[in-house]
Copies of this chain bind each other. A is one copy, B any other.
Amino acid sequence: MSVENKVGTYHFVAEPFHVDFTGRLTMGVLGNQLLNAAGFHATERGFGIARLNEEEHTWVLSRLAIELDEMPYQYEPFSIDTWVENVYRLFTDRNFAILNKDGKTLGYARSVWAMISTVTRKPADLMALHDGCIADYICDRPCPIEKPSRIKVKSTEPVATLVVKYSDIDINGHFNSVRYIEHILDIFPLEMFREKCVRRFEIAYMAESYFGETLAFYMDQEAGTDSYDIEVRKESGEAVCRSKVTFGN
């Protein structure tokens, strides 16, 4: 199979209600479009969520890291290329490139996915899926950004809290993966976004959270940098997700 057949390309536009006050696409919307691209690519190759659901399995996003030089501006078309980098027994790595309308690369993203049984909610063996044919799509196109890192947060004083609302939850009744991105960026003062841009955004999903739960956001700034480590915890102290946000000029 040629590289061309292994890479899917999907086209989008930066819609007016999907840009922030600087006119640039929001990280939450970009995250959503990356996940849409992943869904299209997997569906076209026979391992999309709908087909998996029929077989009592589903995909679970474990980690996402996005690194960009520039976000598309309001009304600008952009495209997302996506491909499978690796398939392990319990995880698969899917990468992305984000391109502007002229084909210039704006940035890259990496994601890590697990497959779980919808019956037992336990991880399932990816090599057992359709006789391991997912591995046929492994592609060696480079993705020149760092892999998702290990994030640790020591802070014991929350910088923000929220109660999970109707708009936050997805079809599974869980906190929507994209909403976390929005809520995490909402921690920062507006000046951060006025003076700088988010150059790298990482998120690791650890546990599900549900309607009505109170979530607290804890944050450590990495000394001497514009990098922030964030952990979202339930009242019990359980971590639901961790994120690293790096601002740049």
Contacts and interface: CB of A to CB of B under 8 A. Distances in A.
Contacts of A171: 16, 19-23, 74
Given A15-B36, A36-B15, A169 B50 contact: no
B32 A50 contact: no
Interface string A171-189: 1110011100011011010
A121 to B, nearest CB: 17
Given A74-B171, A170-B16, A165 B178 contact: no
Q: How many copies altogether? A: 2
Interface residues of A, number: 38
A113 interface: no
A247 interface: no
A166 B193 contact: yes
Contacts of A172: 21
Contact of A190 (B15, B28, B166, B183): B166
Given A166-B185, A190-B166, A35 B17 contact: yes
Interface of A: 15-17, 19-23, 26, 28, 32, 35-36, 39, 49-50, 74-75, 165-167, 169-173, 176-178, 182-183, 185-186, 188, 190, 193, 211-212
